[in-house]
Structure formats: C-alpha cells, structure tokens
Amino acid sequence: MSNAVDLVKTVGKGSDRSSLIEPASEDLVFTCNSDIPPAIPNGDHYELVFLRAEKVHQFGGAKLFLRFKMQTPGDWVGQEFFMACTVAKNGKWGPSSKYWLAWVLAAGRRPNRADRMSTVIFKNKVFRARIRKVLKTSKQIDRTPAQQYSVVDELLDVTVGL
C-alpha cells in the first residue's frame, strides 16, 4: 500500500465503504472570527469608550455583548474589547448581574424599572475598566498563549460623560 487511496480500497474490499472515503482534492478554507481581541496584561487601569451593544443567542440562552474601544495610550489603543453579560431568562436584571452593575455605574443611579435598562446609557462615555486575560476554555482546559484573548471583566468608573 503506497498511499491512502490503496489503504481505503483495501479496507473497503467486499463493501461499499471505499466510496465513502476519498482523499481531499482541495484544501478547505474557513473564515476566521476577526472580532477576537488581543491578549493584553490584566489590569484595572484601562480606559475604554463604549461603541455598541449586541444581543446574541448561543448555547440555549442569550448574551449581551457590550463593545468598547481602548483609549489608553500604548500598543492596544484603538483595539476593540467586549464585556459579555448573561441575559436573564425572565428579561429582568438582578442587582448582582454584570449588566445591572455596569448600567447603574454608567447611569449614576438605580433604574426606575428593571425591565427598561437601555444600552443608550453607555453612549458618549469613557470608562475605567478591569481587563482580564482568558486563560482557560469553557471546559477548563488551559489555552496556549496564542489562544488567549482579553475581555472587559468589570467597569469601575465613568471618567468622561457622567
């Protein structure tokens, strides 16, 4: 057996299995999610400006992604980072939820109604934020340095726009 085709024909003798496995005639090309942020050092000194919010359905639930652009001078200025917030199943945010805490910080007050917490409150504001590097997968497997990226863990202060 000199190559994979001979192996497939040998394995498939006397059956139809030889027609199921064929060598790839072309390489497959996939698009990459270019929204994956860089991995930067952990810290609570980064200044970020709010860009937009996106609601995404994944893994049987909803997530809210708050997207920010780095304003702190340095290698990562202009890079985008996100804060992922789990959306409550009943649509109401509890006082311990990540979004509720961020919203109250941005608004400078508690919401009048828990079901009316618009992302418009984040517009035209710069925040001091804690950024952390994602070191493990969802299955708690260590990521290699090339697989790591950073996320906004928490908004700490409003520095411009309150």
Q: List pLDDT tens digits, range 85-103.
A: 998 887 778 889 999 999 9
Candidates 75, 66, 86; CA nearest to 129 is: 66
**pTM for this prediction:** 0.78
pLDDT of 19 higher than 90: no
Calculate mean pLDDT across residues 24-50: 88
Candidates 85, 31, 29, 96; CA nearest to 62 is: 85
Q: List pLDDT tens digits, range 101-146.
A: 999 999 999 998 766 899 999 999 999 999 999 999 989 999 999 9
- What is the chain's mean pLDDT, rounded? 86
Q: Which pLDDT score is estimated for 93? A: 84
CA 24 – CA 12 distance, rounded (Å): 17
CA 158 – CA 131 distance, rounded (Å): 15
Which distant-in-sequence residues (6+ apart) come within 8 Å of 102 by Cβ? 66, 83, 85, 122, 154, 155
Q: Which pLDDT score is estimated for 89? A: 80
State how far the alpha carbon of 90 is from the alpha carbons of 62, 78, 96, 98, 153, in Å.
11, 36, 15, 16, 24
Q: Which pLDDT score is estimated for 7? A: 43
CA 162 – CA 158 distance, rounded (Å): 7
